[in-house]
């Protein structure tokens, strides 16, 4: 592997110069989350005899408290689960639907080209709690009350706010601070808590306790649902008690492509995981390893592959209950070859056509857990953008997601057009890699439209460039922005290639010569967690990158 990078960390005895720390190694269990308190809660559950799924739910509940700008029970949930007993991957889609009383005509009659980000209109049914119970019923061991207890205790006793989360809360509250219930929950003393300040959310602790005692129906058919219904009616919202009571989740078959001998798994639409697989199919036609990590040649074909995949993402990815999605064609080798042929090795494209087949903002939390029996969970959960809709129902302690903002309200014939009871296009995606039918890596990263791009880069880092699990996440990333969107916008100027500071200027200069518009930014490149498994030695490897507050830990 050819590397020409500036050192981004202190000098280390081993590994690449950009690596922030060693991989974590353990035999009995491993957890990697975006906040250390959540990681420790997961390990505590594993040590009590809980399964990987038990630990993942406990960690997710803690994250909903300690990372409230990104996730929580007002949002949705997706998972890929490796079950050691059946030696099989299971996929889970826990996304909620649009209110039955909301239609595209509402927006078209008012001349609104997009669903707003904030307030009541983008709120869709939260799928998280139903997802917890469905996943727990299939893969859990300990009672739900035990899994929620760590989060309940932190909510009442308080916890010190960690550095990156404090920064995100302080940076992103202005747009939603006047939404009803927000300030009283998340702005004690008139502002969000600063790093190191102890933050309490007793309302959320009480809500968790109701769920622990009353089960999923406490959320969808009990006092919590009635509170949400009253609150939405009071503030002009359309999400109703009936919408909550009718909610269901879906078990789905994960989809995959084989990349140089490794099977990479994602979930089918309404999520965007297919885009990562399409990118890998295109990239497999190049000798990526010989190009070298960080080279202009590699970054160029990676960016152009992203542009191609995201044109299909904008056209085809939507709720499969309302559309026939040509997944087999999109993931075929022949289709990838045709798309690859559109790439000019010397010039960045201003636009690409979507495939001729029949019929970006975001914040999230990703976590992964493995237990002593070989079960592994790849789980992602989100309220969409920072602090989502900003709507906090009376006394419940959590914000309602704004995932409905992702609907297309310009074109009634579009696959992702808003319809009553339809699930919107979704950005959050868990991932998994197997080799020869056995588990290899459970991974994911957070950050809206960066996720498929990040997934593809992690796979290439592991497979083509031979990086270890920690290096694959720490390595500098690109993020291309400006592609056509499922909400209706169209790329005509080639978009912008954002590069982290670790890339060599020579590569940046060559990319500019190829016509790429180059930009730099901080905080838009995702947050990666991963667990690998060495079946020969029966050892887990954990990784958590330095872009977030996260921690990988095992025992």
Q: Do residues 65 and 155 lie in contact, with contact meaning Cβ atoms separated by under 8 Å? A: yes
Reduce the DSSP state of residue 519 to 3 states and report it: strand
User: Residue 1 has what pLDDT?
Assistant: 41
Residue 6, pLDDT above cutoff 80: no
> Per DSSP, what are the bridge partners of residue 534?
539
Rg, Å, the chain Cα set:
22
Average pLDDT, integer, range 160-178:
93
Task: Indicate the pLDDT class of residue 396, thresholds 50, 70 and 90.
Answer: very high
Q: Do residues 403 and 426 lie in contact, with contact meaning Cβ atoms separated by under 8 Å? A: yes
**93-97, 185-189, 466-470, 486-490: range with lowest mean pLDDT:** 486-490
Residue 238, pLDDT above cutoff 50: yes
Cα separation, 92 vs 94, in Å, equals 6
Non-local (6+) Cβ contacts of 42 within 8 A are: 31, 33, 55, 56, 58, 59, 367, 369
Task: Indicate the pLDDT class of residue 354, thresholds 50, 70 and 90.
Answer: confident
Residue 49, pLDDT above cutoff 50: yes
Among the listed residues 39, 303, 364, 427, the single catalytic one is 364
Cα angle for residues 378, 382, 385 (degrees, 5° grid): 140
Reduce the DSSP state of residue 244 to 3 states and report it: helix
User: Residue 361 has what pLDDT?
Assistant: 47
User: Residue 362 has what pLDDT?
Assistant: 52
User: Residue 388 has what pLDDT?
Assistant: 95
Count CA atoms within 13 Å of residue 367 on its CB side: 40
DSSP alpha helix (H) spans, 354-499: 450-463, 469-474
How does the average pLDDT of the chain come out, rounded? 94
Q: Transcribe 76-111 into DSSP letters.
A: EEEEEEEETTTTEEEEEEE-----TT--HHHHHHTT
Residue 482, pLDDT above cutoff 60: yes
Cα separation, 332 vs 344, in Å, equals 21
Question: Which of 88-97, 316-325, 483-492 is most confident?
Answer: 88-97
Tokens, residue 442: 């459970």
User: Residue 346 has what pLDDT?
Assistant: 96
Q: Do residues 37 and 159 lie in contact, with contact meaning Cβ atoms separated by under 8 Å? A: yes
Task: Indicate the pLDDT class of residue 488, thresholds 50, 70 and 90.
Answer: confident
Tokens, residue 543: 């990784």
Residue 425 phi, psi dihedral angles, 5° rounding: -55, 140
Residue 359, pLDDT above cutoff 80: no
Residue 360, pLDDT above cutoff 80: no
**Residue 159 vs residue 487, higher pLDDT:** 159
Q: Do residues 95 and 273 lie in contact, with contact meaning Cβ atoms separated by under 8 Å? A: no
Task: Tokens 């307030």: give the residue.
Answer: 119
SS3 content of the chain, % helix, strand, coil (to 5): 35, 20, 45
Residue 358, pLDDT above cutoff 50: no
Tens digit of each residue's pLDDT (9 = 90 or more) over 130-144: 999 999 999 999 999
Residue 473, pLDDT above cutoff 70: yes
Residue 489, pLDDT above cutoff 90: no
The number of residues in the chain equals 555
Non-local (6+) Cβ contacts of 548 within 8 A are: 34, 35, 164, 446, 527
Judged by phi (left if over 0) then psi (alpha if -120 to 50, else beta), residue 538 lies in: left
**Nearest-CA neighbor of 458 among 530, 507, 521, 520?**
530
User: Catalytic annotation on 364?
Assistant: yes
Cα separation, 520 vs 479, in Å, equals 10
Average pLDDT, integer, range 529-551:
96
User: Residue 357 has what pLDDT?
Assistant: 54
Tokens, residue 449: 């439209």
Cα separation, 240 vs 474, in Å, equals 43
Average pLDDT, integer, range 495-512:
94
Strands 496-499 and 518-519, sheet pairing: parallel
Residue 522, pLDDT above cutoff 90: no
Cα separation, 555 vs 141, in Å, equals 19
Report the first-to-last Cα separation within the chain, whole angstroms: 33
Cα separation, 421 vs 96, in Å, equals 9
Give burial (CB, 10 Å; 0-12/13-18/19+) of 221.
middle
Tens digit of each residue's pLDDT (9 = 90 or more) over 68-111: 999 999 999 999 999 999 999 999 999 999 999 999 999 999 99
User: Residue 145 has what pLDDT?
Assistant: 98
Tens digit of each residue's pLDDT (9 = 90 or more) over 295-309: 999 999 999 999 999
């Amino acid at each position: 592997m050819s590397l020409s990078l500036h050192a981004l960390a202190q000098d280390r005895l081993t590994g690449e110069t950009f690596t922030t720390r060693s991989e974590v190694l353990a035999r009995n269990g491993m957890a990697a989350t975006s906040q250390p308190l959540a990681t420790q809660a997961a390990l505590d559950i594993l040590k009590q005899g809980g399964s990987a799924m038990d630990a993942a739910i406990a960690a997710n509940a803690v994250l909903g408290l300690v990372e409230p700008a990104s996730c929580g029970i007002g949002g949705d949930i997706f998972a890929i689960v490796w079950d050691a007993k059946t030696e099989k991957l299971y996929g889970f889609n826990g996304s909620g639907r649009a209110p039955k009383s909301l239609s595209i005509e509402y927006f078209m009659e008012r001349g609104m080209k997009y669903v707003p980000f904030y307030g009541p209109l983008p709120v869709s049914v939260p799928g998280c709690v139903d997802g917890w119970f469905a996943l727990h019923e299939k893969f859990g061991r300990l009672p739900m009350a035990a899994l929620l207890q760590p989060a309940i205790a932190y909510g009442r006793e308080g916890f010190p706010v960690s550095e990156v989360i404090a920064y995100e809360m302080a940076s992103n509250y202005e747009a939603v601070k006047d939404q009803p219930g927000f300030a009283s929950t998340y702005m004690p003393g008139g502002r969000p808590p600063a790093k190191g300040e102890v933050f309490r959310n007793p309302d959320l602790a009480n809500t968790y306790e109701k769920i622990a005692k009353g089960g999923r129906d406490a959320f969808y058919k009990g006092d919590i649902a009635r509170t949400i219904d009253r609150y939405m009616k009071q503030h002009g919202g359309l999400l109703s008690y009936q919408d909550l009571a009718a909610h269901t989740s879906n078990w789905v078959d994960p989809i995959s492509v084989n990349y140089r001998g490794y099977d990479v798994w994602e979930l089918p639409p309404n999520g965007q995981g297919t885009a990562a697989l399409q990118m890998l199919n295109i990239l497999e036609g190049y000798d990526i390893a010989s190009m070298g990590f960080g080279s202009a040649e590699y970054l160029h074909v990676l960016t152009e592959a992203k542009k191609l995949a995201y044109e299909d993402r904008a056209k085809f990815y939507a709720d499969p209950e309302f559309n026939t999605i040509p997944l087999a064609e999109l993931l075929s080798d022949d289709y990838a070859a045709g798309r690859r042929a559109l790439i000019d090795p010397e010039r960045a494209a201003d636009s690409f056509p979507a495939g001729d087949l029949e019929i970006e903002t975001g914040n999230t939390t990703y976590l992964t857990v493995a237990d002593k029996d070989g079960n592994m969970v790849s789980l992602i959960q989100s309220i969409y953008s920072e602090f989502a809709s900003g709507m906090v129902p009376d006394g419940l302690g959590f914000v309602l997601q704004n995932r409905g903002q992702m609907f297309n309200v310009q074109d009634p014939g579009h696959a992702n057009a808003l319809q009553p009871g339809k699930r919107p296009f979704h950005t959050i995606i868990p991932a998994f890699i197997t080799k020869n039918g056995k588990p290899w890596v459970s991974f994911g990263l957070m950050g809206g439209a960066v996720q498929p791009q990040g997934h593809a880069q992690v796979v290439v880092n592991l497979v083509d460039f031979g990086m270890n699990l920690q290096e694959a996440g720490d390595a500098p990333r690109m993020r291309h922005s400006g592609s056509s969107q499922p909400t209706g916008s169209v790329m005509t100027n080639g978009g912008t290639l954002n590069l982290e500071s670790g890339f060599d200027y020579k590569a940046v200069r060559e990319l500019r010569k190829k016509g790429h518009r180059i930009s730099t930014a901080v905080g838009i490149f995702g947050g990666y967690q991963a667990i690998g498994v060495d079946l020969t030695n029966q050892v887990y490897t954990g990784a958590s990158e330095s872009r977030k507050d996260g921690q990988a830990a095992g025992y």
